[in-house]
Structure 1
Amino acid sequence: MLHKQKQKTSSLTIVVKVGTSSICDEVTHFPLLGNLSLMVETILKLKAMGHRVVLVTSAAIGTGLRRLNLPSKPKKLAQIQSEIAVAAVGQGRLMSLYDDLFGQFNQPVAQILLTRNDLADRSQYLNAVNCLEELLAMGVVPIVNENDTISVSEIRFGDNDTLSAITAGMVKADYLFLMTDVDCLYTDNPRTNSNAKPVFIVDDIATLKEQVTVSSPGTSLGTGGMVTKLIAADLATAAGVTTIITRGSTPQNIIAIVSALHSPSPSSSSADVAATATAAPLHTRFVAKPNPLVDRKWWILHGLHTAGTIYVDAGCVRALKAQQRSSLFAAGIVHVEGSFVAQQSARVVHERVDPETGKVVEQIEVGKGLVNYSSMEIARIKGCKSSEIEGILGYADAECVVHRDNMTITGKRAEE
């Protein structure tokens, strides 16, 4: 299981994600040394308390802009290569800054640069996990960032909120802290709506999205916003990681929040919410799922780039979502989109069609899995029985298109 109860409850694994707005001034791009120093001191105090800490950091581009004396990051498509070059300049400067600050306290740090492509191969994924674990065992603070200099849109995490959630899952973290420019999640933008109310605890993100407004984008230097933090919280809690949103300019609050929240079996009762709100600085807590995904299925769902889509019928959906979850067989496949080969990842989707108009009224993502056949092969064997595959293709590498052990079921239940 990806996330498990620690035998020693006093020792926690904590991932802290700090955004560009907490590191660089949005206008001058100068580093916010006060914030950075407080973050470093907080991490050192957490380590002194016996906790393991991973820092996920943004600001390579912001730091690069300062070094190159550029007013803003490139916006036009033709300038994206320039943005990559700016990140290349800034990444070294950013790590140098962290190394200097941690070095004042003789704390070793390590740079970890990742892309989705690095995690798409199972062996590379495990190598990354083992590297992080070894660094933590050695007392090193891993500093993780996306490798912007080689990333393309197809393999980017897109924002470091998502990267921090993936990292939290990889190290089996107890807590993920998403540091932002507000104290917590609000029902609306508190800067423009004085009636916006703070959200203290979330145990159902799907329901939350219907109750709050989170459409505001990130800063001019950052790539995220509150939307990406909800996505990250969804990913992390699925791995059994309690996720916290709180203010990045006061990182010392992490210690108070951990102290207030950490107990052998924290509850989500109203009494607990009230007690926590009183005892700790303002924050939003996303409760970890009680039955987190196992490691391999977490990797399939979140570590892999999706290469295509397999559309299935309602009977197939019922079989996949049954208690004894079935493998995906060709007989239930309607059609396939995208170009992929065997052992790549594909989405499994069911389309609900209006019987009167024949138009698709809803798409339901059923799951995601590693395929045994290419998209061209699946297009030829769709709707066929397993016993017919060899006659159609001339060979049969597997009786099913996706084996149940290589599939993660997601989304809501299809209509009967």
Structure 2
Amino acid sequence: MESLKNCRQYSWEEFDQLDLNSKNKLFQGDVPQVFHTLNAEQFDRELLDRLYSLTNIIRSISKTKNGATYLANRLRDKRAMLYFAQASTRTYLSFKTACDIMGINCTDVRDTSTSSEVKGESFSDTIRTFSSYFDFVIMRHPEESHAEKAAWVVNSSDRPVPILNAGSGKDQHPTQALLDMYTLRRSFEKNGGMDGKTIMMAGDLNRGRTVRSLSKLLCLFPGVKIIFSAPAGFGMRDDVLQFLDKENVKYIVTEEFVPHLSKADAVYMTRIQDEHDKNDGTTSKRSYDDFSLKFEHLSLLKPFCAILHPLPRRDELDPKIDNDPRAKYWRQERNGMWTRAALIAMTGGAEPQIQNYWRDLSLQASHTGIIQLPKEEDGKEWRPLQRMMTNDPRM
């Protein structure tokens, strides 16, 4: 843990000027597991595969009473602060439920008017206070870089604790990108996998932090192409496009929507982020009809096309689409709970124990020939144990 205290050699102003790779190295230190989760750039393909393997394992184990009890005892001695200074339903509940799965006790601050910040306390002192009481700080903030600053604060102290970024301004939403990628990979399991797929992102790409983080994760898959479809003034920002150029990822920037639907293997819809209007001086329409996915558009999509949306939605995604088998957004929402539970387990050091428990189950099943498989929430049989025993080289 001593290596995590290396940020104290920099003031925040000095640290903020470092490049992202240097920051991430300082944030991680020599801790073997994931520590802070701040940006999508932290994750390489190997780490993604580890995380998603653990996600599948936790998802399967939790379906039995004994398995759920086992998971709930892994981190029962830990406490988490859910510091949500920005409105949230799904992300908050997803993290809260993920903590419950792992047995973590949670406390939250969801209204900064109830904290000492209204008395003039600095953000740094607020974070130091959280780190005094809690083993994890899961935070969502309207200001960019605040999750990063929180990590700098704790890494400059004598008690570094993990900071998990649950959404930072218009900049990053790494855990949303993790669950989005997990959903995409599961959607394409029987259709050649992620490599070479064309992902279309539509809506407010300029201020939507989910598409920014997901774009960076997509770089990890060879041959992936991205179509950025947005109304004038809402296109993807240049820093992401430059990142894609550096990674040699092909993309199209367009102000057209319908003509590109037939090219997409996945369509990722987003709403107009008009809550940012008062901060950035823009005035946005609530919705743009030309950038709405309607029921009649389904005939244009490929048979296996995955339709995603980070939610909440407005008029940009027709509710009539919900029952189409290509609509993955409600499953995407559930996947957030499982991927975040796996991320928390990795961060808390519980991954080896869970892997060992899974190996024991797998060996027992191979000796007895009995594999009890749970049903997924939508009633479709899901066979993670069989799949993991067959495909995971670590079994």
TM-score (norm: length of structure 2): 0.27
Q: Which has the higher strand share?
A: 1
Query: Which structure has the larger Rg?
Result: 1
Q: TM-score when scaled to structure 1? A: 0.26
Structure with greater helix share of residues? 2
